[in-house]
Amino acid sequence: MVATVDEVFVASAVSIQALPFGQYIPMGLVDPEVGVLVLMYRPIMGIPTLSVTIRRLHDVGKSGWWSLLWILPLPLLGWFYLIPLLCRPTFSKDG
């Protein structure tokens, strides 16, 4: 039983380029084959990551739409602006 689960989920790899819209998946060109567990982990962890990012942006007084800088216009360029923005002290309206 354990060997079957290990073979199906851990040892098997999926080609990202073969998936629908695979050429648009971030890191698909860097790591073209990825394990099934990693492929399932990424979208599941994307939701809480987006939620925490939006909450943190609201804490520093910015709109949650700034979180699109994780993926737009180019992922790496947006990170250079977004990461220092997320590291700012909390904005307080009380003064």
Q: Which residue has the tokens 């648009």?
A: 24
What is the pLDDT at residue 9? 60
Residue 20 in any domain: the answer is yes
Task: Please check whether residue 19 is in contact with residue 25, taking contact to mean a CB–CB distance below 8 angstroms.
Answer: yes
Residue 62 in any domain: the answer is yes
What is the pLDDT at residue 86? 87
Residue 23 in any domain: the answer is yes
Residue 92 in any domain: the answer is no
Question: Above pLDDT 90, what percent of the chain?
Answer: 11
Domain range enclosing 48: 2-86
- Nearest-angstrom CA–CA distance, 59 and 92: 8
User: How many domains, in total, are found in the chain?
Assistant: 1
Residue 95 in any domain: the answer is no
Q: What is the pLDDT of residues 48-82, one digit of tens each?
A: 988 999 999 999 988 989 888 887 766 677 888 88
